[in-house]
Structure 1
Amino acid sequence: MTYPPDQGRRRAKGQLEAEILTVLHQADGPMTTGQVIERLGSGLAYSTVVTILTRLHAKRQLTRTQHGRAYAYAPVADEAGLAARRMRGYLDERPDRAAVLSRFVGDLTADDEDLIRQLLDSGR
């Protein structure tokens, strides 16, 4: 059996969330489910996109406001801020922060180490 492009294949875990977040980050303002589906252009079911948006809202990665009978969604932070929130959340879930941070720092490139030192020295 052959499938049209992108049908019949499963996305990697979190890939659809990432695609939806990208669409929302590129938007000029909050978007409804229908607008997200249109922008994705992938023929996803409305219920699938609603589920992902609801999950992202529950994870506090999106805000939502009433827009007629639907909700309009927007990211709570820019992409860098969102990545920082994820990193902080992951760190908070681990019992040994020192071990995690030590491993993280140990894997940094020299350029990344220099950047972190500059940021720490500047009080950021």
Structure 2
Amino acid sequence: MEGDEGVRQLGELEKLVMDRVWSWDHPVAVREVLEGLRDERSLAYTTVMTVMDNLHRKGMLTRQKDGRAYVYRPVMTREQHSAAFMGEVLAGTVDRTATLLHFVEQMPPDEAARLRAALDGTLQDRAGVSE
């Protein structure tokens, strides 16, 4: 990714913008994001444009010209970004297993059950592929 120095936690405005961009299934212009944020925040067009340009430089958004303006798309899904960020956090720990166990202990039981089911399915799929 252009300008990528690893996946980082997003700042407050970056998160608001990315939440909007992730919520749409099409390339978005600055004006569309600005209008989508109006209910939550009063922001200037130039502020949203600067945040989106920064996200592009950080490798979070791709962009292409559409007339006189750019339209933007996310480089990865929200889930892919979260997983990459979690991977970065784990890479910085001394004991990955202990960190993961502490994380799982904090999960509500229904989420832990879904995680177990997903892991069981993934492990079964891997076992079937190697045979």
Partner of 1:57: 56
Structure 2, unaligned stretches of length 5 or more?
Answer: 1-9, 124-131
CA distance in 1 between partners of 2:101 and 2:62 (Å): 33
How far residue 64 of structure 1 moved from its aligned partner, in angstroms, is 1.6
Q: Secondary structure at the match of 1:72?
A: strand
| Bigger RCO (CA 8 Å, 6+ sep) | 2
Tell me which of 92, 95, 111 is aligned to 2:93.
95
Identity across the alignment (%): 35
CA drift at 1:14: 2.7
Show structure 1 runs of 5+ residues with no match.
Answer: 1-12
The residue aligned with 2:43 is 44
1:52 shift after superposition: 1.3
8 Å CA contact 2:28, 2:73 repeated in 1? yes
TM-score (normalizing by structure 2) = 0.66
- Contact 2:93–2:99 under 8 Å retained in 1: no
**Cα distance in 1 between the residues matched to 2:88 and 2:56:** 15
- Could you tell me which amino acid in structure 1 is paired with residue 24 of structure 2? A
- TM-score, normalised to structure 1, is 0.69
For this pair of structures, how many residues does the alignment match? 111
- Structure 1 equivalent of residue 118 of structure 2: 119
Change (3 A) 1:19 1:81: same
**Distance change (3 Å), C-alpha of 1:65 and 1:91:** farther
**In 2, distance between residues paired with 1:90 and 1:67?**
37
What root-mean-square deviation, in Å, do the aligned CA atoms of Structure 1 and Structure 2 show? Answer: 2.5
How far does the alpha carbon of each residue in 1:62-119 deviate from its partner, in whole angstroms, 9 at most, with x for none? 2222223432111233333332233223323x13233322321232233222222211
Aligned to 1:81: 80
Give the Cα–Cα distance (whole angstroms) in 2 for the partners of residues 66 and 80 of structure 1: 27
Deviation per CA, 1:18-59: give whole Å up to 9, x if none. 221222123241112222223322442233212211232233
> In structure 2, do the counterparts of structure 1 residues 60 and 99 end up closer, same or farther at CA, with 3 Å as the change threshold?
farther
